Structure 1
Amino acid sequence: MAEGPWPDELDLSRPNGARVYDHLLGGAHNFEVDRDHARRLLAANPDQQFGAHANRSFLRRVVQWCLARGVRQFLDLGSGIPTVGNVHEIALAPDPSVRVAYVDCDPIAVAHSASIVADLDTVTVTRADLTDAAGVLGADSVAGLLAFDEPVAVLAVACLHFVIGDAERFMSVYRDRLAPGSVLAISHGSDDVEDPDHAARMRAVADSFADTASPVTLRSRAEVRGLLGDFTVADPGVVDITDWPQAGLAPRAAATWAAVGVKGG
């Protein structure tokens, strides 16, 4: 089921980050304006498609890691457009009772997600702005599905770099709402990396999004760590997504930090 206002018209004059990401992953829920931007994006950084797939692989590993810890509830912020390897596909395979609440502000993402999970009683889709944490947490399709007095995994994978301004302000609201044992998992693009060429390519990517519906903010490794607040950082720490939870999972780095934290008692 889905909750949220549905617009009569879509703005297809500018590319959208979720739809560009969908195209990079080989999805079909995008438009020519998004595909054209993806081509310009790859010209600026040929590694960007690799990075999109690396983010998807990181998401899969995080969900499996949470399940192994006994976490059976997921709040997927900026969940994007459905592609193979969605959270509910990964999480429900071993346990159909797992609950998943998807949240995205893009009407295309919400519409396609809702159509895919329409027959699933333990999965909801909410159209909302993730920066409005109180609104997200208070939505019937989130609050009515997830029990926040039990551990919840909040996933913010490849979405916070599309947020301008003080992300800590609203991320603290999510952290405060979570019960002990909950998990916050973040992946975030950055130019704060050792390879200066890769850093320059990431800045070129950010520049390419400047005039789109989804401008990009690159944050440092320390800033990404700060979004976990006082949560205990899971091993191996804040590392490239290709090195979480262990090094050597991909042939090269993705210039995207992985930060996974667990709330203490």
Structure 2
Amino acid sequence: MTDTSAWLPDQTTTGAWVPDETDTTRPSAARVYDFLLGGGHNFAADRAAAARIEQVLPNARRVARSNRAFLRRAVRYMASQGITRFLDLGSGIPTVGNVHEIARDANPDSRVVYVDFESVAVAHSRLLLDGDERTAVVEADLTDPDTVLADEDVRALLDTDEPVGLLLVAVFHFVPDHKDPAGLVHKYLSALPAGSLAAISHLTADHDPEGMAEVAETMATSPNPMFFRPLGQITPLFAGLDLVEPGLVDADLWRPEPGSTDPEDPARGVYAGVGRVRR
């Protein structure tokens, strides 16, 4: 388990992860998520938004942690399949668990490119990863795949026949329908070498429509409004992938570690799955 204390802000460097243009009076999804995970890179507005979310969704922290645990297990699974290169889109703030550490537990030579458009997430990632030659942090919007795929660090990662682990974890509930989430996934999958794997998770209102509607309302005035989708609208994100067992399920139920989850009482609110790129 990652020692989260190592990721809490150092008072001597705190300013380095807050760009001058950052509006700290408006909540950011990345920072609210960081708070729910127990991280320390968030502001009063983020904590206030998280408190409102927890009022209507008392299991919000459990849902957030179930998603983060899925990310960990997905990366470990990919590593077990020989994946050593990872592209993490919408990577957020790496304060509680992070892809490169998980991957390097399996293979010290693993390389990771993190991509996010949130300025604090990018600034803090670059601060933490400064000097790590096997990681790169790209500031870009995943809904602009042409720009992301043209980035020199991304191109270097993809410019071989070695398979890639594509991570699209808890990002598409920030993408509105008019931006065609399934089409965006297809664009990225089409750029991956044969044998690549993709992990996708997505928040849903299927199990608590009223509570999740309140969450959406809380985030509506933030830079990151949320669009919760039912299972039937999440399934198309996996088109072009051969799903790995157990398929698209509650995040807690995707290859849980022994004793970590009560199969009769999983956290409900996140669907998750991993698929192999079909060629």
Superposed displacement of residue 254, structure 1: 2.6
Structure 1 residue runs of 4+, over 4 Å off?
Answer: 246-249
Ranges in structure 2 where 5+ consecutive residues have no aligned partner = 1-17
**For residues 108 and 158 of structure 2, what CA distance do their matches in structure 1 show?**
15
Q: How does 1:125-204 map to 2 (within 5 A)?
A: 125-147=137-159, 149-165=161-177, 166-193=180-207, 198-204=208-214
Mapped to 2, the partners of 1:78 and 1:84 lie a distance apart of 15
Deviation larger for 175-184 or 140-149: 140-149
Show structure 1 runs of 5+ residues with no match: 1-5
2:81 aligned partner:
69
Q: Distance in 2 between matches of 1:246 and 1:8?
A: 41
Q: Deviations over 1:217-256 (max 9, x none)?
A: 0112122221121210111111000000259742422311
Query: Please, which of 27, 37, 52 is the counterpart of residue 39 of structure 2?
Result: 27
Where in structure 2 are the equivalents of 1:52-131 lying within 5 Å? 52-131=64-143
Q: 49, 58, 80: which is aligned to 1:37?
A: 49
State the partner residue of 1:263.
277
8 Å CA contact 1:148, 1:178 repeated in 2: no
TM-score by length of 1: 0.91
Percent identity for Structure 1 against Structure 2: 43
Instruction: Give the Cα–Cα distance (whole angstroms) in 1 for the partners of residues 221 and 84 of structure 2.
Output: 39
- Please give the per-residue CA displacement for 1:177-230, whole angstroms capped at 9, x wherever unaligned: 11221111111001234xxxx333222222221111110001121222211212
Q: Distance in 2 between matches of 1:192 and 1:149?
A: 39
Could you give the per-residue CA deviations for residues 81-133 of structure 1, whole angstroms, max 9, x where no partner exists? 11131001101123121110000111110111111111211100001001111
Counterpart-to-counterpart distance in 1, 2:194 and 2:260: 30
1:199–1:255 contact (8 Å) kept in structure 2: no
SS of the residue corresponding to residue 42 of structure 1 reads: helix
Could you list the per-position Cα deviations for residues 12-67 of structure 1 after superposition, in whole angstroms to 9, with x for gaps in the alignment? 23100000001111111111111111111111101111111111111100000000
1:151 positional shift: 0.9
For the pair 1:214 / 2:224, whether they are aligned, the reply is yes
2: CA distance, partners of 1:149 / 1:200: 46
Counterpart residue identity of residue 154, structure 1: L
The 3 A distance-change label for structure 1 pair 229 and 39 is same
Does residue 240 of the first structure (1) align with residue 250 of the second (2)? Answer: yes
> How far apart in 1 are the matches of 2:193 and 2:224?
32
- Matched residues in 1 for 2:20 and 2:152: separation? 23
Bigger shift: 199-208 or 54-63? 199-208
Task: Tell me the residue number matched to 2:12.
Answer: none
CA-CA distance at 1:154 after TM superposition:
0.8
> Is the partner of 2:190 in helix, strand or coil?
helix
| SS, match of residue 10 in structure 1 | coil
Cα distance in structure 2, aligned partners of 1:95 and 1:246: 22
CA contact (8 A) 1:122 1:145 kept: no
